[in-house]
Amino acid sequence: MVALIDRFMQHNPSGLMPALRDGPDWIQDSDKIIVHVEKKFKEPSLKTPDEFKVDGPYIAGKNPTDSDFALAPKLRHARMALEHFMDFVFPSNLQHVAKYMVSFPPSTRSSFLTFLFLFHLAHDEMIIAGWQTKFGQD
């Protein structure tokens, strides 16, 4: 695992995650990754609709959208980094946040959406390594 983390940090010295490697290019941040994926794959669309009904576990309803793919990894990183470096755990009274966080990976008919989210899942050790510099532990 250490070799994998070292290799990742060579290509991504800032440690920002998630990061997508597409050929020689490295794209950092969920929002930029979604824009990149939307340009390459038009269907299924990941854009959050302007109007939606909240009738599912995700921001726009039953299927995850770009908003979910941006928010879910950030919540995971926050949960892991805060617990590891500051012994902070999200309060149990934030029931909707806890429920939302366990709704991933999405159980959707689209294998592409599942792949996209699973791609965002970095090993726990890689997340911690990426955050070490932010907490002054490099």
In tens, the pLDDT along 5-58 reads 677 777 777 766 677 778 888 888 778 888 888 888 877 777 777 776 667 788
For the entire predicted model, the pTM comes to 0.60
Mean pLDDT of 115-119: 53
Is 138 part of any domain?
A: no
CB 59 within 8 A of CB 48: yes
Q: How far is the first Cα of the chain from the last one, in angstroms, to the nearest whole number?
A: 17
Q: Which residue has the higher pLDDT, 56 or 93?
A: 93
Residue that wins the pLDDT comparison between 36 and 119:
36
Q: How many domains does the chain have?
A: 1
Positive/negative CA dihedral, 65, 47, 11, 85: negative
Is residue 137 domain-resident?
no
Domain that holds residue 17: 2-132
CATH number of domain containing 39:
1.20.1050
125 in a structural domain: yes
Residue 87 has pLDDT above 90, yes or no: yes
Q: Find how far residue 130's CA is from the centre of its chain.
A: 14
Element counts in the chain: helices (H) and strands (E): 6, 2
Within-domain flag for 71: yes
Q: What is the mean pLDDT of residues 74-97?
A: 88
